[in-house]
Amino acid sequence: MILRTLTGVTKGLALFALALWHLWTLAVAVVAFTLTFGLGMVFVFPASVRMVRGRTAEARKIAAAWSGVEIAAPYRPVPPPPVPQADGWYREGRQLYRTSMVPHFNRTLDWMIKDPATWRDFTWLVAEPVVGGLIALSPLLLAGYGVLLAWAWQPLQVLAGLVLVVAGVLVAPRVPWLHGRWTRSLLAPTRRSLLANEVRHLTETRTQAVDAQAAELRRIERDLHDGAQARLVAIGMMLGAAEEIVESDPQAAKALIVKVREASASSLVELRRLVRGIHPPVLAERGLGDAIRALALDSPLKAEVSVDLPARAEAPVESAAYFVVSELLANAGRHSGAGAVTIDVSHRGPALRLTVTDDGHGGADPSRGSGLSGIERRLAAFDGVLALNSPAGGPTTAVVEIPRAFPGVARESTVPRWKIRLMSVCYGLFWLPLFPQGLVTMGFKIFGAEDRSWFLALYLPEPLQWPTTVAMVALGGGMLLYGASVSRQIKDAEGGGCG
C-alpha cells in the first residue's frame, strides 16, 4: 500500500510537471491561431497543429503506459495527394497550378480546420494545466489541507483532517487512472471520426476484395486455358486422328481411344481440383467443421481438429475461413518443418475464432510473404484479424477472428454484474451530491446566502464547509465518470463501441 501510494504521488507530480510544460505549447498555439485567423497568416497553422498533435500523442502514450487507458488516434483520414491532369497542371477549384505545393497545402489546411479532433486537442491543451493539474495534485492537496485542519487541535477539525489525509492516501494510487480517464474524455475519437475511419476502412477493403476477386478470376481463366482447355483440344485432335485411321489401322485407332480416355480422366480430376479451389463441395454440403476435417485428412501433417460452432455461418464467411486454414496448413508443411498441427474451430459470442498451432521451427513473418499477407487481405473483407505468435524455435500459433460470423448468437458480457448495478446507482444518484449538495452549496457560500435549507455542508463548522462542498462535487463527478466508464465497457463488450 505504501509503495502504491508513493508511486501514485510520484506519477501525479510528473503529470503536474508535464501539465505545466504544456503551457509553452499552449502559448505557441494561441499565437499561431491568432496569426492564422486574425492576420490571415495561414502558413503557420499546419505547423502549430502538428505540434499540438505531438503533445496529445504523448498524452495518449502516457495514459496507456501509466493507467492502462488505451486512447486511439481520433483524426480523420489524411486527404489524398493532388493528382495532375493530363497536361501536367494541378487543378484546385477554378485555379490551375504548375506544381502540387499549393493544392496540397490547401487540402491539408482544410483537413486540419474541419477536423473536430483539432479543436478537441486545443481544448485539452487549455484545460490540462487546471483540470489535469488538480487531478495530479489531488492527493497532496487533500493531505495538506487535512494537516492544516488538524493543526488547530479542535476535535471536529482533527477528525476532518484525518479523513482528508486518509482520502489523499486512498486517492494517490488512482491518480494515473483518473488522469487517463480525463485525457480520454477529450482525446478519444468522436463518433463522427469513427464513422469516417470506418468508411475509409470499408472503401479500402472493398477495393482489396474487388482486386482479389479479379485476380482469382484471372487465375481460374489461366488454369482453364492452360489445363482443362488444352487437354480438351488434345482430346478432340486424338479423336479426329482415330476417326481417320479406324478403318485402315484399327489397332492404332484403339490405342488413340485409350489415350483419349486417360486424358478425359485427367481433365476430370483437374476440373474437380479447380472446383475445390473455388468452393469445395464438402464445404457447401456439410459445413465448415467437416470441410476442415477433410482438409486435415488430406494434409501430410498429423492433424488434430476440434470444432465447437453454434450454427453455420454465411457461405462467404465459411469459404474465407476454409481457405485461411488451408493456407495456414500449407505454410506449416512447406515453411516451418512441422510434423503435427492442431486446429481449433470455435466461437466467441457472434465471432468465429480459428486457432492453428504447429510444432515447427517458427519464425513466420507476414512481411516476408509466405501467404500470410494474402490471409490478411482475405480477412479484411470481413473485418477479420490475424494474430500470429511465431518465436524462433517454435511453436507457431495463428489465431484468426472474424466478427459477426454468427449474428444470431449473443455476445457474452465481460462486465461483472456488480459493476452494472453500481453503474445504475451512480447514474441514478450522481446529481444529488454534484448539484444541490455541491455546486448549489458552493454558490450559497460564494454569495454569502444565510438560508441553509437542506444543504448539509452549511450545518457544519466553518472550516469544514468548503472541504465538504468540494468533496460532494468530487463525489458526484466521480459517480458520473464511473457510470460513463462502465457504460462504455458494456458498449465495447457488445460490439457497439469503438476505441
Domain boundary (278, 298, 330) is at 278
Q: Which residue is listed with cell 493532388?
A: 82
To 5 degrees, how large is the angle CA 29–CA 31–CA 35?
A: 115
Is residue 482 domain-shared with residue 456, that is, in the same domain?
yes
Grid cell locating 261: 480416355
Q: What pLDDT score does 312 carry? A: 86
Mean pLDDT for the stretch of residues 422-434: 88
Please determine, for residue 271, whether its predicted confidence score (pLDDT) is greater than 80: no
85-121 burial: b if 16+ Cβ within 10 Å, else e: eeeeebeeeeeebeeeeebbebbbbebbeebebbebb
Percentage of residues of the chain with pLDDT beyond 90: 7
DSSP H or E stretch at residue 438: none
Query: Which position has the higher pLDDT, 419 or 494?
Result: 419
Q: What pLDDT score does 499 carry? A: 37
Q: What pLDDT score does 56 carry? A: 92
pLDDT band at 124 (very low <50, low <70, confident <90, very high): very high
Domain boundary (228, 254, 278) is at 278
Amino acid of residue 85? Q
pLDDT band at 39 (very low <50, low <70, confident <90, very high): confident
Query: Which position has the higher pLDDT, 496 or 65?
Result: 65
Is residue 258 domain-shared with residue 305, that is, in the same domain?
no
pLDDT band at 277 (very low <50, low <70, confident <90, very high): low
**Of the spans 225-234, 438-447, 448-457, which averages the highest pLDDT?**
438-447
Is residue 295 domain-shared with residue 268, that is, in the same domain?
no
Please determine, for residue 293, whether its predicted confidence score (pLDDT) is greater than 80: yes
Mean residue pLDDT across the chain: 81
Residue 107 counted as domain residue:
no
Q: What is the CATH number of the domain that holds 343?
A: 3.30.565.10
Residue 86 counted as domain residue:
no
Q: Give me the DSSP letters along 3-24.
A: HHHHHHHHHHHHHHHHHHHHHH
**Of the spans 10-24, 244-258, 264-278, 362-376, which averages the highest pLDDT?**
10-24
pLDDT band at 61 (very low <50, low <70, confident <90, very high): very high
Q: Strand pairing partners for 307?
A: 345
Query: Which position has the higher pLDDT, 151 or 113?
Result: 113
Beta strand segments in 31-77, E: none
Grid cell locating 353: 475464432
Mean pLDDT for the stretch of residues 191-200: 73
Please determine, for residue 368, whether its predicted confidence score (pLDDT) is greater than 60: yes
- Cα four-point dihedral sign 430, 436, 441, 443: positive
Closest listed residue to residue 75, CA positions, set 63, 60, 65: 60
Q: Which residues contact residue 66 at a Cβ distance below 8 angstroms, ignoring those fewer than 6 apart?
A: 11, 176, 179, 180
Q: What pLDDT score does 122 carry? A: 92
Residue 94 counted as domain residue:
no
Q: How far is CA 93 from the centre of its chain?
A: 36
Please determine, for residue 496, whether its predicted confidence score (pLDDT) is greater than 50: no
Q: What pLDDT score does 62 carry? A: 92
Q: What pLDDT score does 234 carry? A: 77
For residue 433, give its domain range.
Answer: 417-493
Contact criterion met (CB below 8 Å) for 287 and 229? no
Other CB atoms within 10 A of residue 437 CB: 23
Closest listed residue to residue 356, CA positions, set 392, 312, 380, 386: 386
Is residue 315 domain-shared with residue 398, that is, in the same domain?
yes
Is residue 155 domain-shared with residue 222, that is, in the same domain?
no
Grid cell locating 66: 501509466
User: How many domains does the structure of the chain reveal?
Assistant: 4
Please list the alpha-helical segments (H only) found in 224-287.
Answer: 229-245, 250-278, 281-286
Please determine, for residue 45, whether its predicted confidence score (pLDDT) is greater than 80: yes
Q: Which residue is listed with cell 500470410?
A: 372
Q: What pLDDT score does 211 carry? A: 66
Beta strand segments in 288-339, E: 302-307
Residue 83 counted as domain residue:
no
Q: What pLDDT score does 354 carry? A: 92
Contact criterion met (CB below 8 Å) for 333 and 298? no
Please determine, for residue 174, whether its predicted confidence score (pLDDT) is greater than 70: yes
Please determine, for residue 157, whether its predicted confidence score (pLDDT) is greater than 80: no
Q: Which residues contact residue 59 at a Cβ distance below 8 angstroms, ignoring those fewer than 6 apart?
A: 18, 124, 128, 183, 187
Mean pLDDT for the stretch of residues 26-41: 85
Is residue 8 domain-shared with residue 59, that is, in the same domain?
yes
Other CB atoms within 10 A of residue 372 CB: 21
Grid cell locating 52: 499540438
Is residue 301 domain-shared with residue 391, that is, in the same domain?
yes
Q: What pLDDT score does 493 carry? A: 62
Residue 430 counted as domain residue:
yes
Is residue 163 domain-shared with residue 63, that is, in the same domain?
yes
Least confident of 68-72, 217-221, 287-291, 393-397: 217-221
Domain boundary (170, 189, 208) is at 189
Closest listed residue to residue 439, CA positions, set 461, 459, 455, 460: 455
pLDDT band at 455 (very low <50, low <70, confident <90, very high): confident
Residue 82 is given by DSSP the state: P
Q: What pLDDT score does 437 carry? A: 86
Grid cell locating 471: 468533496
pLDDT band at 193 (very low <50, low <70, confident <90, very high): confident
pLDDT band at 206 (very low <50, low <70, confident <90, very high): low
Please determine, for residue 198, whether its predicted confidence score (pLDDT) is greater than 80: no
Please determine, for residue 344, whether its predicted confidence score (pLDDT) is greater than 90: yes
Is residue 364 domain-shared with residue 427, that is, in the same domain?
no
Grid cell locating 240: 479426329
Edge to edge, the sheet with strand 340-348 lists 302-307, 340-348, 351-358, 396-402, 385-389
Could you tell me the CA-to-CA distances from 3 to 22, 59, 177, 179, 471 in Å, in that order?
28, 24, 16, 19, 25
Residue 411 counted as domain residue:
no
pLDDT band at 210 (very low <50, low <70, confident <90, very high): low
CA atoms within 13 A on the CB side of 412: 5
Contact criterion met (CB below 8 Å) for 119 and 144? no
Q: Which residues contact residue 311 at a Cβ distance below 8 angstroms, ignoring those fewer than 6 apart?
A: 406, 408, 409
CA distance 415 to 299: 41
Residue 301 counted as domain residue:
yes
Is residue 432 domain-shared with residue 389, that is, in the same domain?
no
Q: What pLDDT score does 355 carry? A: 92
CA distance 424 to 156: 34
Q: What pLDDT score does 498 carry? A: 37
Contact criterion met (CB below 8 Å) for 319 and 286? no
Q: Give me the DSSP letters along 119-159.
A: HHHHHHHHHIIIIIHHHHHHHHHHHHHHHHHHHT--HHHHH
Please determine, for residue 275, whether its predicted confidence score (pLDDT) is greater than 80: no
Is residue 177 domain-shared with residue 309, that is, in the same domain?
no
Please determine, for residue 456, whether its predicted confidence score (pLDDT) is greater than 90: no
CA distance 131 to 128: 5
Is residue 37 domain-shared with residue 170, that is, in the same domain?
yes
Percentage of residues of the chain with pLDDT beyond 70: 89
Residue 293 counted as domain residue:
yes
